[in-house]
Amino acid sequence: MSTFAQFGNDLYTGKRSFDIVGRQKTWYAVSVVLLVLAAIGLFGRQLNVGLEFRGGSEFRVSSISNVDDFETRGKSAIGTLDTGSDVIVTKIGANTVRVQTEKFQNNLTDKVKGALAAEFKVGENKITASTIGASWGASVSQKAVQALIVFLVLVSLVLALYFRTWKMSVAALVALAHDLVITVGIYALAGFEVTPASVIGFLTILGYSLYDTVVVFDKVRENTLAAEGNGRLSYSQAANQAVNQTLVRSINTSVVALLPVASILVIGSQLLGPGTLLDLSLALFVGIAVGTYSSIFIATPVLADLREREPAMQELRKRALRYQSAQARKAVTVPALDEEPAEGASPQDQGRVASGSSTTGRALHPSVQTGPRNQPKRPPRSKR
């Protein structure tokens, strides 16, 4: 633990640093690959939307004594009615089976309940049936899109006013779009079912990603204001320093958030089965992981690329280069003439110090060197 704390302290003080902003092309390439995979999932496999969005009938058979081979048995029971509809059978909890089909009329619904009761050997009172129209799902989708648009507009205005630059709003929105597309793409590739709970999870991760990005941007602003005052760092260098200073904090925050979500995800998948809790935790887990990546490796590099094009930031870069060049020249040690020899030094080292030279420093100019050649000549002795 102390080692990790020391690691974080070294990052904050600048003793250790990772060139994150300077390697933005690497992170952009990784994101492009992820976005291409997400696009393949979205346009190739497409999203597996839940019953709430596509409409249909759902039957839940509870108190089943034997759930072995539940999927085959559920489909077989529906198949005896020759409905011609697609059937999705999943297990919920230890002894409950969920069967989703196309929307049935009331008379056919009763027949399906009877067939399921006979197959799983339970009473019809242990079977619940519900029907959802596709219009309800369309309404939910429309409201979700409206909420997303309002959210993005308000976020853009708040960031622009708080940081006094629209470029931070653009960088934050790029990171948000990056998170949303990749998360939804992962859902499509993996075939996860998208339910209203998943949509809630998608909207939640946008807020989480934005929170982490704002924390980094606030430190970027603090560092760049100092850099503009003393001219020691360029904008990209100050931004990279900010990312390093908040890196451990971002990792800790993400781990603390992911651990309970992962616990809920494991419990939901192993014990509870498909449901609101599983859908929500799955969206949160994927989104938080992607959001952490974007706030560190995407948002700040994009911001630095946008700001470095400004004339003021280009002038700051020149000032920083001049200052750093001057510091590099000063780093070369020049021994003083009155430098005292170190205790225990060899006679040769003492002679070098006395003569104005050093094994680690530069040789002095001949005009200031001491030695036999530069000693004043003695006046000639008068002849006796």
Model confidence pLDDT, tens digit, residues 226-250: 888 888 889 899 999 988 888 888 8
Strands 193-194 and 48-49: parallel
Q: Which amino acid is at 356?
A: G
Model confidence pLDDT, tens digit, residues 267-317: 766 666 556 677 777 788 888 888 888 888 999 999 999 999 889 888 989
Model confidence pLDDT, tens digit, residues 37-78: 999 988 887 787 777 777 777 888 887 777 777 777 777 777
Q: Is the pLDDT of residue 359 over 50?
A: no
What stretch(es) of the chain map to CATH 1.20.1640.10?
2-49+136-318
Q: Which residues pair with 96 in a beta bridge?
A: 92
Confidence of residue 360 (pLDDT cuts 50, 70, 90): very low
- The CB-side HSE value for 342 (13 A sphere, CA atoms) comes to 9
Architecture in CATH for domain 56-132? 2-Layer Sandwich (3.30)
What stretch(es) of the chain map to CATH 3.30.70.3400?
56-132
Name the residue with higher pLDDT: 2 or 12.
12
Architecture in CATH for domain 2-49+136-318? Up-down Bundle (1.20)
H helix or E strand, kind and range, residue 291: helix 276-297
Both ends of the chain: CA-CA distance in Å? 87
Confidence of residue 28 (pLDDT cuts 50, 70, 90): very high
d(CA 245, CA 289): 20
Model confidence pLDDT, tens digit, residues 161-172: 888 788 888 898
Mean pLDDT on 257-263: 85
Q: Is the pLDDT of residue 370 over 60?
A: no
Q: Please give the pLDDT value at position 129.
A: 81
Q: Please give the pLDDT value at position 372.
A: 47
Block residue for tokens 């904050």: 12
Predicted model pTM: 0.69
Are 235 and 317 in contact by the 8 Å Cβ rule? The answer is yes
- The CB-side HSE value for 159 (13 A sphere, CA atoms) comes to 23
Mean pLDDT on 341-360: 46
Q: Which of 11, 51, 2 is nearest to 244 (CA)?
A: 11
Q: Please give the pLDDT value at position 33.
A: 93
Q: Please give the pLDDT value at position 30.
A: 93
Share of the chain above pLDDT 90, in %: 5
